[in-house]
């Protein structure tokens, strides 16, 4: 045999991470495998299916059996980290999840902890924030390429912005968890009055 389904999914993830979702075409994935575009359709019925399989792979690390995290907070943070680890990962996972594939293992786990409504609310927020984070990061990276004078001294890209987005995510997470009656999260730094600016 020449290529397996796993090879196709792996090639898809390589192309995604290297070139982004916009350029992750069937033709590019085929080229990555050194094969004709039509060959992919022996392994996968269409592009949507391939993307769903890629989404499962992206989210795998966060939903692996070994990482049996008990609290919903760490669960969402792990999920977000898994999506942010690959270029445009949040878009791929969120789209696949809307079609019911992908993160449903994560949802089952969360539903056991906070009920179905809580699980859905947490997941939709987590996906949305991750997409927003990734959009802003690639906009920042593009801006840095166009206008490299923006960097005051060393450093590849502005580290403060990334920290802000991570903190912003956790604050929103704590709002939802508070609404679910979860134990209040101990946040020793900072007062609680109207911090930070908007993400959009």
Partner DNA sequence: ACCTGAACACCGTTCAAGT
CA Rg, the chain, in Å?
19
Kindly indicate which of the ranges 30-38, 67-75, 82-90, 129-137 contains the residues binding DNA, using the contact rule CB under 7 A: 30-38
Cα 59 from Cα 53, distance rounded (Å): 10
| By the rule CB under 7 A, 3 interacts with DNA | yes
Cα 167 from Cα 57, distance rounded (Å): 26
| By the rule CB under 7 A, 36 interacts with DNA | yes
Binding footprint of a copy of itself on the chain (CB under 8 A): 94, 97-100, 103-104, 107, 111, 115-121, 123-125, 127-129, 131-132, 135, 139, 168, 171-172, 174-180, 194-200
Token digits of residue 148: 């490299």
DSSP states along 57-114: HHHHHHH-SS----SHHHHHHHHHHHHHTSTTHHHHHHHHHHTT-STHHHHHHHHHHH
* Closer Cβ to a copy of itself, 23 or 178, answer by number: 178
Query: Looking at 42, 100, 108, 178, which residue binds DNA (CB under 7 A)?
Result: 42
Residues of the shown chain interacting with DNA in the complex, contacts defined by CB under 7 A: 1-4, 23, 25-28, 33-39, 41-43, 45-48
């Amino acid at each position: 045999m020449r290529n397996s389904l796993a090879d196709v999914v792996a090639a898809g993830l390589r192309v995604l991470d290297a070139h982004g979702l916009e350029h992750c075409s069937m033709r590019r994935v085929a080229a990555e495998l050194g094969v004709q575009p039509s060959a992919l359709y022996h392994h996968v019925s269409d592009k949507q299916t391939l993307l769903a399989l890629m989404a499962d792979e992206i989210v795998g690390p966060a939903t692996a059996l070994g990482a049996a995290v008990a609290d919903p907070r760490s669960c969402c943070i792990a999920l977000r980290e898994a999506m942010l680890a690959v270029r445009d990962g949040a878009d791929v996972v969120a789209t696949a999840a809307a079609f019911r594939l992908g993160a449903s293992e994560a949802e089952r786990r969360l539903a056991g902890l906070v009920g179905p409504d809580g699980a859905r609310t947490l997941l939709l927020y987590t996906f949305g924030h991750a997409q927003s984070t990734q959009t802003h990061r690639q906009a920042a990276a593009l801006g840095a390429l166009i206008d490299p004078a923006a960097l005051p001294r060393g450093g590849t890209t502005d580290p403060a912005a990334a920290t802000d987005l991570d903190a912003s995510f956790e604050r929103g997470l704590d709002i939802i968890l508070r609404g679910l009656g979860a134990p209040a999260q101990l946040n020793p730094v900072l007062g609680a009055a109207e911090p930070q600016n908007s993400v959009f």
